[in-house]
Structure 1
């Protein structure tokens, strides 16, 4: 007893330990609670300044509407709020690269999405690898993005040049002669290279007789058109001038030069609604497109068309659907991975299927390219309103678009 008394209360140290342990436990719980409450940060980078501004704005609208739809307006996933940080790279590669580094480094975003220009997107790819963070490419299309410039942090929801080309080639399997007109930039040259390869893959008997590349800001197409007409006019029919152009389309200016004098038919690629509504006088002209609001029949697209029309007095467009698809990829990946950890996200996203306004897409494991349907259209003769432009000829399934894997993984 006396010994115990001299040593004092034997429980004092133990009690102190309990208090310290409880304090530590509360601190850990507090830290854990803070982590749980932490926002999920997503950077959306787009070329909102310059020639591709309309595309960028549509992408942003579609992305935000996609998150709204998928989260039932709560803007959260796995109990965490979603915060979107929007940046304008002005379609400049150096700016795109710098803004992505800023997003990963300073803003501490978990995932990035972008961008509009293929040149800027290509400049961003090494940044994703450097920071070991996911970059979902939307809407840039250059094949090199999921080809020889690809790395394992890159996923793409937008179609690539080869998907565009294979869809178009599937409609031109007979003989005849083809000339191409595109932009003298990464997008244009990539697109024409893919188009020629796609014709061979599709078993088309048509022969490519001319390739014409013009600056994106060209306003007078008289000289380029004359070179194209001279190359095509004495070649076997059908004679097709395929136009692959991002931004304001030169189709009307080419049509004004009367290519029909030489038996030449114009074959435009799909474009945004404000551009296509100027094509009303070309009823019967056919082409292929990534998305047109009236073609897909599914619940997600029904909501997008109804809600977009209600809010903006016009149906959703080409790039609106693309932005929505990117949002769906982000949401589905976060839900599946239950984490923002990059490695867990990559595991979840490889081979991942997700819903979009176009229907289901899936990220091919080999190169992370989203496989998706495309559409063969004809310009309507009888149009009910300014947006009633295209008639569906055929939905082109993934099986008809055998995109080769070119990333040498």
Structure 2
């Protein structure tokens, strides 16, 4: 995800790339042999909470896409889950093991580093790979066998840009930690919003910083039209409190990313003064897929990465339904496919497998257990679509 420490179903769809949740999944294959799917994702490690939402979403999506049968025609969908702990080496080892056992469909990848390492393995072995919450733009167009079920960083930054409209002549400041994470966000804002005509500068704080008053003074003096904050770690509450106390939040439009619900209280009183770009939150959508997901996931409410798992399951069902055990046919079935997911209407762009999808603006209100996110605007898939890139392989 851009601004945090790290980031089921439409039924069977016809070959015309559309369909309804009431259709029955059907598919080819060798008799009643199961459709085996390997999910390699973070069950443990720093991104375990993201992985938990992903797998809950996947199970809900699989039920939805198969009308509760977990079958595609007469074939049972058998899912094998493997923990990569966010470690690319473990993920590659798991992927190779699954491929060696005959799995033709892999999904998962909670972390960007994992996705970038598993994608080449999929291409080398000609298996379908559907990356999950990993937001790196590098997954898009990496090869013909790799797809994604979540959003990518470009879509996050375009959502941030939507808060200032036409960027021409605008002044944008990025406030981030002086780390690889912070600098990657700085680079993304320059590449997207800077290229749209804004002047982008940055204020970088040491990752060890505990006194944020000097940085607040720099931000106030800069007088930006948009302040983009990319922050990770335990110092976030103190940072936001300082920006609020020093009047920064009231002096300009301050935008950051909305992480999982458990993180919302860290904003404290500052939360209501921040504009949030969002991949997803529970109140963002209330369509049939979202309602079905809520009815299935534990707790009955949706969080940031439930849609990524749900969408992955929809894509798995589509691929196996149309392609049987032929991976090249699976690829063809997904390219250009439009369907209704938890977030709304989604399209797999044929040229590079970018997943075009709605994105959201949000505000936080309330406090403690009563804190909630309210939708402010839905951006259409076209409004945040990344530029098409040539398929690499």
**Into which bin does the TM-score normalised by the smaller protein fall?**
0.7 to 0.9
CA root-mean-square deviation: 2.6
Q: 1:314 to 1:399 in 2, by over 3 A?
A: same
Which aligned pairs between 1:175-194 and structure 2 lie closer than 5 A? 175-181=170-176, 184-185=179-180, 189-194=183-188
2:143 paired residue among 151, 154, 157: 151
1:82 paired residue among 77, 80, 83: 77
User: Does the alignment pair 1:134 with 2:123?
Assistant: no
What is the distance in 2 between the residues matched to 1:292 and 1:399?
20
DSSP-derived class of the 1:267 partner? strand
Q: 1:111 to 1:199 in 2, by over 3 A?
A: same
Q: 1:227 to 1:364 in 2, by over 3 A?
A: farther
2:381 paired residue among 390, 393, 398: 398
Aligned length: 358
Q: Which has the higher helix share?
A: 1
Residue in 2 that maps onto 1:10: none
The CA deviation at 1:37 is 1.8
Q: 1:395 to 1:182 in 2, by over 3 A?
A: farther
Aligned partners of 2:346 and 2:381 also within 8 Å: no
Residue in 2 that maps onto 1:171: 163
The CA deviation at 1:188 is 5.5
Residue in 1 that maps onto 2:88: 93
After superposition, give the CA deviation of every residue in 1:301-359 in whole Å (9 maximum; x if it has no partner): 11222433xxx33511111121111111111222233x121111111111111221111
User: Does the alignment pair 1:65 with 2:65?
Assistant: no
Structure 2 unaligned runs (5+)?
1-27
The CA deviation at 1:99 is 1.0
Aligned partners of 1:178 and 1:239 also within 8 Å: yes
Q: 1:65 to 1:402 in 2, by over 3 A?
A: closer
The CA deviation at 1:184 is 3.8
Residue in 1 that maps onto 2:227: 240
What is the distance in 2 between the residues matched to 1:367 and 1:239?
31
1:288 paired residue among 271, 277, 281: 277
> Normalized against structure 2, the TM-score is what?
0.83
Aligned partners of 2:240 and 2:267 also within 8 Å: no
Structure 1 unaligned runs (5+)?
1-32
Residue in 1 that maps onto 2:241: 256
What is the distance in 1 between the residues matched to 2:238 and 2:84?
30
Question: Which structure carries more relative contact order (alpha carbon 8 Å, separation 6+)?
Answer: 2
> Normalized against structure 1, the TM-score is what?
0.80
What is the distance in 1 between the residues matched to 2:103 and 2:370?
38
Aligned partners of 2:257 and 2:278 also within 8 Å: yes
Aligned partners of 1:325 and 1:355 also within 8 Å: no
What is the distance in 2 between the residues matched to 1:267 and 1:260?
17
What is the distance in 2 between the residues matched to 1:243 and 1:157?
24
What is the distance in 2 between the residues matched to 1:70 and 1:190?
37
User: Does the alignment pair 1:42 with 2:37?
Assistant: yes
What is the distance in 2 between the residues matched to 1:34 and 1:243?
47
